[in-house]
Amino acid sequence: MASTDLGTGAPVAAAELTAMRRALALALRGPASDPNPRVGCVLLGPDGEVRGEGWHRGAGTPHAEVAALADAAARGLPTEGATAVVTLEPCNHTGRTGPCSEALIAAGVARVVVSVDDPNPVASGGVERLRSAGVDVQTGVLTAEGRAVLGAWLPSVERGRPFVTLKIAMSLDGRIAAADGSSRWITSEVSRHHAHDLRAEVDAIAVGTGTALVDDPSLTARNAAGELHGHQPLRVVVGHRDVPADARLRGPGGELVHLRTHDPAQVLAELHARDVRHVLVEGGPTLAAAFVRAGLVDELHAYVAPVLLGSGPSAMADLGVVSIGDAVRLTTRSVIPLGPDVLVVATIDPPSPTEEP
């Protein structure tokens, strides 16, 4: 059987690579918005045949490895001597569920193939525990694909704060509203549907009090028919002014959280304490600039419409840029046509190192 050596442990067999791709596809069945990661697992017999499959269905449910073991049991297939192919290092701690490392050991699994090491210090250590029990472990298999499936969860855990996506919807000349304040609608219906799908994948949406008072948004995630998605993110208002009692933010949708601060770092700390992994900052320009100045934007989604306004509020407030050398530079990751509009997905480049005199 063909094999490839991709890291520690015995070489990876072709059947294990196929199983890892299947495990990654299974992982994507899990909820995009959840404190826990999307994980998939496939159990293989000695000849590479599938004995069980599983994925994590959300916080409080069995982890992917345990689900795969249960699937094997339901099929009446043994797990003794099996290989577990899993997208994330098996956990080694007891939370709402027990350690997956111990479950695999108890099931007699002989080998474990892992895509991504778990960066969470609370849950990591599964590889060491498995090896100490005599289980052969191969790590680093299809790691890029594994990281992509984990999405915002992975950098959130690595950085100890929510992953921040800054969303801007603007005219071609960088305006978010006309001179009279009207802004519905600069972008197309196609773009708005896309933005609602993004809302349905995040844990929280944040706006400043200015946007809350002027635009009176509902900050809900809706489908094309205008119905609420099953998952509704937290609705976060940042600033000191009160949210009116009759505001749409108090209507149907996610929980309203009012954070009376102007400090983006404090906002993220409070959301992290609520197990928020991914926050979408939607505005307005003052809040957007505050997050950019603080260096706390991980990804920018700019919906750009082929519209010229010439005046009106700009998409970004003052960033303190005096000369072109001070400009905040970004790297474009993708450009997606959305009807007449385009979505530019970009990341902010790190500042250039200061040259020594």
The three-state (H, E, C) secondary structure of 44-62, written as one string:
ECCCCCEEEEEECCCCCCC
Q: For tokens 């790590």, name the residue.
A: 139
Indicate whether 235 pLDDT > 60.
Answer: yes
Indicate whether 5 pLDDT > 50.
Answer: no
pLDDT of residue 10: 59
Domain 3-151: CATH superfamily, name plus number: Cytidine Deaminase, domain 2 (3.40.140.10)
Which pTM value belongs to this model?
0.86
* Antiparallel, parallel or unpaired: β 50-55 and 40-44: antiparallel
Q: Over the stretch 6-57, which tens digit does the pLDDT of each residue have?
A: 445 557 899 999 999 999 999 999 988 888 899 999 999 999 999 999 999 9
More confident of the two residues 221 and 352: 221
Calculate the average pLDDT of the chain. Answer: 91
pLDDT of residue 166: 97
Architecture, CATH, for domain 158-348: 3-Layer(aba) Sandwich (3.40)
Read off the pLDDT band of 353 (50, 70, 90): low
Least confident of 99-108, 139-148, 328-337, 344-353: 344-353
What is the Cβ-side half-sphere exposure of residue 92, based on CA atoms within 13 angstroms?
A: 17
How far apart are the C-alpha atoms of 89 and 92, rounded to whole Å?
Answer: 9
Would you list the domain boundaries of the chain? 3-151, 158-348
Using N-to-C axis directions, what is the helix angle for 14-27 and 64-75, rounded to 10°? 110
CA-CA-CA-CA torsion for 346, 217, 293, 314, nearest 10 degrees?
80
How far apart are the C-alpha atoms of 38 and 61, rounded to whole Å?
Answer: 12
**DSSP SS3 for 351:** coil
Q: Over the stretch 275-307, which tens digit does the pLDDT of each residue have?
A: 999 999 998 899 999 999 999 999 999 999 999
Read off the pLDDT band of 356 (50, 70, 90): very low
Read off the pLDDT band of 3 (50, 70, 90): very low
How far apart are the C-alpha atoms of 173 and 307, rounded to whole Å?
Answer: 8
73 closest CA partner among 31, 43, 116, 38: 43
Average pLDDT over residues 244-255: 95
Indicate whether 58 pLDDT > 90.
Answer: no
Least confident of 158-162, 322-326, 347-351: 347-351
Q: Over the stretch 97-109, which tens digit does the pLDDT of each residue have?
A: 779 999 999 999 9
pLDDT of residue 123: 67
CA-CA-CA-CA torsion for 153, 333, 6, 123, nearest 10 degrees?
-10
Average pLDDT over residues 260-278: 96
Burial letters for 185-223: b for 16+ Cβ neighbours within 10 Å, e otherwise? ebbbeebbebbbebbbbbbbbbbbbbbbbebebbbbbbe
Average pLDDT over residues 222-238: 91
**Spatial contact of 282 and 206, defined as CB atoms under 8 Å apart:** yes
Read off the pLDDT band of 355 (50, 70, 90): very low
64 closest CA partner among 55, 73, 51: 55
pLDDT > 70: what percent of the chain?
A: 94
How far apart are the C-alpha atoms of 4 and 10, rounded to whole Å?
Answer: 9
Read off the pLDDT band of 192 (50, 70, 90): very high
Active site residues: 65
